[in-house]
Each structure stands twice: as C-alpha cells, then as structure tokens.
Amino acid sequence: MPSDEPIPPEDAFELVGNDIRASIIQTLQEGFKNGERKMSYSSLKSRVGVRDSGRFNYHLQQLVGYFVEKDQAAYRLSYAGRKAASAIAGGTYNETVELESRSVNGACLNCGDDALELTYNDVEFDISCTNCETSIVHMPFPPGAIASHRDGDLEAAFDRWARSWNMLSSTGVCPECGGRMEMGFAEEQGDPAIGNVDVRCTLNCTQCWMSGYLPVGCLLLEHPLVVSFYWNRGYDIRSSFIWEFEWALSKEYQEVHRPEKDLIKISVPLDDDELQITVDESFEVVNTDKR
C-alpha cells in the first residue's frame, strides 16, 4: 500500500513508464469522458486487454494510491492520474508532429510587411516575418493540439492558448503548475524575443521551471480595462489574434518611467480614442487615462 509520504518524482515517472499502466490510465480517462465516473475491475481488465489476471492486477495495484483511486469495487483516476492522461493525450512525451508552414494575417511590427508565417518545430508554435525574420509570437503548444486543430481553427486555438497562459501569469499564478509567480521588469529579451519592446515583464514560477519575458501589452490584452474599452466601442477583442495587436507588442506604444520605482505605461489606440494604462513591477494598475 502507498504511504502518505509524497512519492519521489523519479518513482512517479517509473510508475507510468509501462505500456499496461499507461493503457490503464488511458482507459479510465476514456471511460470518464464517456460518463463512466468509475469502472469495475472486470470491465477495466477487459478493455485494457490483458488476459493474465495476476499480471493485470500487479500493474493496477502499482497505480492505486497515486494515479488511480479505488472506491469499493470500482476504480477511477486521481487528479494526478488525470494530469498524466492529459499529458499522454497531448502528446507531450511521446509524439512529434509535422506542420507545413503557412501564411497568417497581420503585419510585421518591425518592417510593416504583411509577410507573417506560422511554423511549428520542436513543440514551438511561432509567428515570424518572412521578410525581416522578426519573431512576433512564439510559445510551446502540445503536439496533440496540432493534430486536433489542424483543420481550420489552428490559429484560433493557439491564440486562445497563449492568451489564457498570459492571463494566468499576469495574476501571479503559474499556468503550468499553479504555483506562485514572481514578476518584475527587466531588459532581458529572451531568445527569440516576443515583440520589440526594450523593457519586458519577467515571469518566474517559484515552484516549477516556468519563466518568460513578455511585453507588458501582451499581459494586458485580457485585462478588464482593455476588454471593456474594446467592447464599449463595438469590438470583441477576441475577434483578432494576439499578433494582430501592434500596441501589445511594439515599443512604439510603451513608455518606461523610473521615478521612485519602475512604471510602464501602455497606450491602447482604438478608432479615435486611446486608453493609457500604467502598471508597476507587481503588475498592479496604478493609473489609467482616456483620450
């Protein structure tokens, strides 16, 4: 029986590093998706397809208490099991996907040409200019998501993924592990850099690997002040992709102020109006103005 002590990471990976155990996790996840909150031993064994009861039971019991929960005579995935199933479904650990490059709408914030291209290599989704080779937006995107959204809505799916990632980060919550994010301003650019601003918001999780250097405008895109500014003028901000908002990525719309502490002001133009938002290093809004 598993103890109440946390399992070492290397042991956790070893537990799911077996085809029968991986199949058990996937089978329970498929059942959950189809409305089966729990699955009996006999049903689970039959669907996994292992005839030897002793062999099947050994591998199942290795998962119980960590990735699988037993409730009377039925089994279901724990939270850790659901996360493992999502990683398998997303292809994070076991898939490579090829995607032919394609042109996307939008102008390069560096040279102004309508020459943006989408590429996907090494699990990195990238929007870059084919004319001046400026990287506009890039971030990891699961291989399974590419396969799922390949026909028609791939750009929209990535846009929603990136914006939700940015929104969580801007509120101090790590989008990878849920840990606490430390935020600040710095002149580090990242490699490759997103946008062309001189000072960026640094994001570092205190718990996992996640870190980033993003233009402040990217993090403001889903802020209620910006969303309502667009909505009140008849625009749904979700109808455009993140790389189409020049003000969110370009240094032309950013001012850095260093009185007693660092402040960054972002100007958001729309039609004949302009919203100005000033934030501090903790990403708190300290001033707003409309013109």
Q: How does pLDDT run across 159-208, given as a tens digit for each residue?
A: 999 999 999 998 999 998 899 999 989 886 666 678 888 888 989 999 88
* Mean per-residue pLDDT over the chain, rounded: 87
Within-domain flag for 79: yes
**Taking each helix axis from N to C terminus, what angle separates 53-63 and 9-16, rounded to the nearest 10 degrees?**
150
Which of 48-57, 63-72, 229-238 is modeled with the greatest confidence? 229-238
Position 142 in a domain: no
pLDDT band at 277 (very low <50, low <70, confident <90, very high): very high
Instruction: Confirm whether 69 is domain-assigned.
Output: yes
Q: Which residue has the higher pLDDT, 119 or 87?
A: 119
**What average pLDDT does range 225-249 have in this prediction?**
95
- CB contact set of 187 (below 8 Å; sequence gap of 6+): 198, 199, 200
- Structurally, the chain folds into a number of domains equal to 1
Comparing CA positions, the residue from 101, 105, 109, 67 lying closest to residue 84 is 67
More confident residue, 10 or 23: 23
- Which tokens sit at 56? 């099947």
pLDDT at site 191? 65
Cis before 2 (ω within 30): no
CATH code for position 35: 1.10.10
At 213, is the pLDDT very low, low, confident or very high (cuts 50, 70, 90)?
confident
Domain presence at residue 178: no
Q: How confident is the model at residue 94 (pLDDT cuts 50, 70, 90)?
A: low
pLDDT of residue 236: 96
Q: Is residue 40 part of a domain?
A: yes
**pLDDT for position 260:** 59
| 150 inside domain | no
Give me Rg for the CA atoms of the chain.
23
Task: Report, as an integer, the average pLDDT of 204-215.
Answer: 88
Residues in the chain, overall count = 291
pLDDT tens across 123-152, in order? 888 999 999 988 899 888 888 788 788 766
Mapped onto helix, strand or coil, the DSSP state of residue 94 is coil
Least confident of 105-109, 148-152, 214-218, 285-289: 148-152
Cα–Cα distance for residue pair 127/108, rounded to 1 Å = 10
Give percent of the chain with pLDDT exceeding 90.
47
What string of DSSP letters covers 258-289?
A: -SSS-EEEEEEEETTEEEEEEEETT--EEEEE
Give mean pLDDT, residues 219-237. 95
How is residue 138 written in tokens?
């890039």
CB 84 within 8 A of CB 76: no
Whether residue 249 is contained in a domain is answered as no
Distance CA 254, CA 27 (A): 50
pLDDT band at 114 (very low <50, low <70, confident <90, very high): very high
d(CA 189, CA 196): 9
Find which of 25-29, 62-66, 221-225 is predicted with most confidence, using mean pLDDT. Answer: 221-225
pLDDT-derived band of residue 93, with 50, 70 and 90 as boundaries?
low
| Structure tokens belonging to residue 189 | 């650019």
Residue type, 291: R
The residues near 203 (Cβ < 8 Å, ≥ 6 apart) are 169, 181, 182, 183, 210, 211, 212, 213, 214
State the residue range of the domain holding 24: 9-89
Could you give the C-alpha distances from 111 to 21, 33, 129, 194, in angstroms and in order? Answer: 52, 47, 9, 15
Q: Residue 91's closest CA among 48, 38, 51, 149?
A: 149
Q: What is the pLDDT of residue 261?
A: 65
Q: Does 169 fall in a domain?
A: no
